[in-house]
Structure 1
Amino acid sequence: MTHYLGIDAGGSHCRSRLVDESGAILGTGETGPANAKIGMDRLYATLRDAADQAIAAAGLDDAAVAGIRTGMGIAGIRRPGVRAALAELDFPFASVAFDTDGAIANIGAHRGGDGAVLVIGTGSIAQLRVGGRDFSIGGYGFPISDEGSGAALGLSAMRHALRALDGRTQRTPLSTAVSERFGHDTLQAVAWMDEATPKDYAALAPLVMDYAEANDAIARSIVEDAALHIERFIETIFAQGAPACALAGGLAQRMRPWLRARTVAQLSEPQGDPLDGALLLAGFGR
């Protein structure tokens, strides 16, 4: 029996799913960030950890592992040299197909057909398939890109908190909640920012959403600005000829109520998740 392994490696976590030929889930796994920016050694270790968790849960022996067909969607794979470096890694599987995390999200959302997915998580990227041609919009990396994402919300919250500590803007419950994490000490906040990753900034996003929903004026302005970026993404997706657009990513459902009704009416429900896309990339169902 052939087994199929799908891996979704993103900026905040790496998830895996192992299935048999019928699609029955035999095992899953989850590890930490797996963006290509963390370095090839750490990336390989993270991918293997997620894969090994699923394999262990399934109880497969070495012979069965050697027959696994694998699909991996990895954030940051478009960076120069990453695909070539991935091809050199020693995975113990029969085959490994690589693509971006956005690509597997789109494959899963539309079962490999034409359409688009807008991923709103730690970062943001739109992945499209139009007339069989695959391309993306955005996703150039934080902080230059990733508009509307969790990392962008967290960065805006930090800016507001620091300005409030300076007295350059009015304090709000959001700024107080953020600055409390650093003892209301600007130098501690700056020291944190010197080392902070996109995942660290994105960890502040739920706090921003909570205060926006509680009508904190600054939090609302941050989320409303993010919603405008998301709506512009969606407008561009349809202008590029995509017949359908679905939302994906950890922040997608929480941002949905902040979009205009006419925008939401244009959206489609995904037919599957990114791990479904990774399994299709691996060859499942062919």
Structure 2
Amino acid sequence: MQARQFLIGVDGGGTGTRVVLADAHGAELAQGAAGASGLALGVERAWQAIEAACAQAFASAGLAFDWAHCALGCGLAGVNNRDWLAAFVASAPKLAALDVQSDAYTTLVGAHGGAPGVIVAVGTGSIAAVLDADGACRVAGGYGFPSGDEASGAWLGLRAVVHAQRSLDGRARPDAFSEALLAHIGAADRDALVVWLCEANQTAYAGLAPVVLAHRQHPVASALLAQAGADIAQLVDALDASGALPVALCGGLAANLAESVPPSHRARLRPPLADSAHGALELARRAHALARAATGEAT
């Protein structure tokens, strides 16, 4: 008897990993979650997080977990770095099939069901992508932390912490916003903040985004959110200057940033049909079908 086969869609970013487990026909069985698997944080860490999330999903479904019976579709942050991508693929366990794309692409597939449209994904990082009528995918932004990823959690945190710095040395008056930032960081004085800044990575800065959102009426936070909204609009315009395609704002910060998008672009926003993990599940389905066809198995 042939062993049962499974499809797994993986959405991996700088803050967390989500997976969707389905049977070979695409019927969803369970979901799982684990820590970050964005490739900027290391290939070994990425595979550890993906394995933990998959193991959780199999356990939830009451099934035995064996990589050899899994077709994996991955949408990961950081695959635009070719060296990271090559190392990730080379480190893969023995799988039934594997396809790895950017989390932008899987978000796009999930959000519009494979139909033409634009997405702007805002989470720990950010990126925009469009799928045109010819099926071609183009991206804008997503150059990575710290120089890019406009409107992302890390982008907000990196800029918000400047207010905390200024409040500590007298360039700005200490207030509830600066105190909340310092409390989140755990820094009571300048030296403690410097230590945190020397060690902080993209994920750590993104952890400050909820503090910004909680103080969105503060002038500094308000200006940051307004700039984030303007950057989102600029990303959309770069990919669809005609304004003809639907736009889905996706990712962990989407709901909180929608009101900051200029009215002209906010009117074009549509709820995503599905998320990046389900877009990655479609990659797994395709990879599984190709692997079966290559071995002459019936589909």
1:227 Cα shift?
1.6
Q: Give the Cα separation in 2 of the matches to 1:240 and 1:34.
A: 35
On the 8 A contact 2:138/2:239 being kept in 1, the answer is no
* Alignment size in residue pairs: 283
- Cross-structure match for 2:178: 175
1:11 Cα shift?
0.7
- Cross-structure match for 2:101: 99
Q: Give the Cα separation in 1 of the matches to 2:90 and 2:257.
A: 39
> Which of residues 136, 141, 146 in structure 2 aligns to 1:143?
146
1:65 Cα shift?
5.2
- Change over 3 Å in CA distance of 1:183–1:56 after alignment to 2: closer
**Unpaired stretches in structure 2, ≥5 consecutive residues:** 290-299
Q: Give the Cα separation in 1 of the matches to 2:282 and 2:243.
A: 23
The answer to whether 1:8 aligns with 2:11 is yes
Q: Give the Cα separation in 1 of the matches to 2:92 and 2:207.
A: 33
Q: Give the Cα separation in 2 of the matches to 1:183 and 1:270.
A: 39
Letter in 2 for 1:42: R
On the 8 A contact 2:108/2:114 being kept in 1, the answer is yes
On the 8 A contact 1:172/1:218 being kept in 2, the answer is no
Letter in 2 for 1:39: G
1:157 Cα shift?
1.4
On the 8 A contact 2:67/2:93 being kept in 1, the answer is no
What secondary structure does 1:283 align onto?
helix
> Which of residues 207, 210, 218 in structure 2 aligns to 1:203?
207
Residue-by-residue CA offset, 1:38-86 (whole Å, 9 max, x unaligned): 2222222222222222223223346x75332220111101103223222
- The aligned runs of 1:16-165 (5 Å cut-off) are 16-21=19-24, 23-61=26-64, 66-130=68-132, 131-165=134-168
1:156 Cα shift?
1.4
- Runs of 4+ with >4 A deviation: none
Identical pairs, percent: 35
Question: Comparing 147-156 with 49-58, which one deviates more in the overlay?
Answer: 49-58
On the 8 A contact 1:173/1:216 being kept in 2, the answer is no
On the 8 A contact 1:129/1:242 being kept in 2, the answer is no
1:280 Cα shift?
0.7
- Cross-structure match for 2:238: 236
Question: Comparing 148-157 with 228-237, which one deviates more in the overlay?
Answer: 228-237
Q: Give the Cα separation in 2 of the matches to 1:183 and 1:34.
A: 28
Letter in 2 for 1:71: G
Question: Comparing 154-163 with 38-47, which one deviates more in the overlay?
Answer: 38-47
What secondary structure does 1:267 align onto?
coil
On the 8 A contact 1:9/1:101 being kept in 2, the answer is yes
Q: Give the Cα separation in 2 of the matches to 1:222 and 1:50.
A: 34
The answer to whether 1:190 aligns with 2:194 is yes
Letter in 1 for 2:114: G
Q: Give the Cα separation in 1 of the matches to 2:36 and 2:242.
A: 31
1:240 Cα shift?
7.7
What secondary structure does 1:76 align onto?
coil
Q: Give the Cα separation in 1 of the matches to 2:64 and 2:122.
A: 37
The TM-score normalised by the length of structure 1 is: 0.91
Residue-by-residue CA offset, 1:211-231 (whole Å, 9 max, x unaligned): 11xx22222112112222112
**Unpaired stretches in structure 1, ≥5 consecutive residues:** none
Q: Give the Cα separation in 1 of the matches to 2:154 and 2:80.
A: 20
